[in-house]
Amino acid sequence: MALDEAARMALAQSREAAPGLARGLIRAAAEATLATSDDGQPYASLVTPATAPDLAPLLWLSALSPHTRHLAREPRCALLFAGPAPGPNPQTRPRVTVTGSAARVEGEEAATLKARWLARHPYAALYADLADFSLWRVTIAEAQVVGGFAMAHRLGAAALAPAAAAVAALAAAEAGIIAHVNADHPDACDAIAAGLLGGEGEGWRLVSVDVDGCFLARGEAVLRLAFDPPVDGADGVRRALILAARAGRAALGRPER
C-alpha cells in the first residue's frame, strides 16, 4: 500500500522516536510478560521487572516457578512491555518485545542490583530474602517496537542501549545524588510527585536514577519521572530535577524556592 506524504513523515518520526519509546516502556514497567521455552513448548508468565543502569531487565525469580526452571535449561527468552492504550482498542497500546538471554546474577553485583530491583518493587521486601529467590538479568539482543498502527520498528541492541559513558558516569554518582536530594531537597521530591506524577501525600524520596529518568517512592507507592532528553551525568540529573520541581510547584500553585 502506497503511503502519502503525511504517512511517510509520521512513519519517519515514529522510527526516529522508537529507541526512546522502547527505553521508556522498559524503564517504567511495573510488570511484563516473560516468554520461555520448555523442551520446545512456549510458556508465558507475568513477571515484575526493573532495569540495570545499562537497561538490562532484572527479574527476581523463584526456583519453584516453571519459568525459572525453563531459563536454567534454555536461557533464550523474550519479554513484552506494554504501555496504556489511548483508547478502547488494545492494539493501539505502545509496546516493545525484547529478545535475549537470561542469566542468574552472581557475586557482589547481585546485592547492588537486588537493591535496585527492590527500589522499584518495595512491597517485595516481604519475600525478597527467601532462599528460593534469585536475581536474573536479561541481556537484550533485539527489540521490536510498536508505537501505533503501522508503526513497528526492529532495533538491534546497539540502537536500543543508552550511551555507555553516560551510564558509567551516572552509576558512579547515583548514591551521592540520592543522598543529597533526600537530605536537602525533600520538598522538591514532594512537588514532583504531587504536581507532575499524581502522587498523594508528603514524604516522597528519590530511590534510583538512570540516564532516562528516576523513581520516587513513598511507602510501597513508586512513581517514574522520565528525563527528556536523557542525561549524561550528575549535572544533567540536577538540571532535570530542578526543572521538574519548578513545574511541579507551578502545577500545585506553590511559590518557587
β partners of residue 221: 218
pLDDT of residue 3: 60
pLDDT of residue 7: 64
Q: What is the mean pLDDT of residues 179-202?
A: 97
Instruction: Give the model confidence (pLDDT) of 203-256 as tens digits.
Output: 999 999 999 999 999 999 999 999 999 999 999 999 999 999 999 999 999 887
CA geometry: angle 209, 206, 200, nearest 5 deg: 130
pLDDT of residue 100: 98
Question: Does residue 115 sit in helix, strand or coil?
Answer: helix
Question: Does residue 53 sit in helix, strand or coil?
Answer: coil
Distance CA 227, CA 21 (A): 12
Pairing of strands 133-146, 152-156: antiparallel
Phi, psi (rounded to 5 degrees) for 120: -80, -30
pLDDT of residue 150: 72
Tell me the pLDDT band of 83, cut-offs 50, 70 and 90: very high
Instruction: Give the model confidence (pLDDT) of 169-186 as tens digits.
Output: 999 999 999 999 999 999
Identify whether the C-beta of residue 68 lies closer than 8 Å to the C-beta of residue 102. Answer: no
Low-confidence winner among 31-35, 90-94, 210-214 (lowest mean pLDDT) = 90-94
pLDDT of residue 119: 98
Q: What is the pTM of this model?
A: 0.94
pLDDT of residue 11: 66
Q: How many Cβ atoms are within 10 Å of 161's Cβ, its own excluded? A: 16
- Percent of residues, the chain, with pLDDT higher than 90: 86
Phi, psi (rounded to 5 degrees) for 206: -75, 130
Distance CA 200, CA 223 (A): 11
Distance CA 241, CA 113 (A): 24
Distance CA 150, CA 177 (A): 41
Identify whether the C-beta of residue 101 lies closer than 8 Å to the C-beta of residue 140. Answer: no
Q: What is the mean pLDDT of residues 16-39?
A: 96
Tell me the pLDDT band of 38, cut-offs 50, 70 and 90: very high
pLDDT of residue 147: 87
Residue partners of 224: CB distance under 8 A and separation at least 6? 27, 28, 197, 213, 214, 215
Q: Taking the CA of residue 96 as centre, how many other CA atoms within 13 Å lie in the half-sphere pointing to its CB?
A: 28
**How confident is the prediction for the chain on average, in pLDDT?**
94
pLDDT of residue 149: 73
Distance CA 129, CA 124 (A): 9
Instruction: Give the model confidence (pLDDT) of 93-144 as tens digits.
Output: 999 999 999 999 999 999 999 999 999 999 999 999 999 999 999 999 999 9
| Residue 2 pLDDT > 60 | no
Q: What is the mean pLDDT of residues 56-73?
A: 98
Question: Does residue 81 sit in helix, strand or coil?
Answer: strand
Residue 164: its H or E element: helix 164-184
pLDDT of residue 82: 97
Where do the domains of the chain lie, and which CATH numbers do they carry?
5-161 (2.30.110.10), 165-252 (3.20.180.10)
Higher pLDDT, 31 or 256: 31
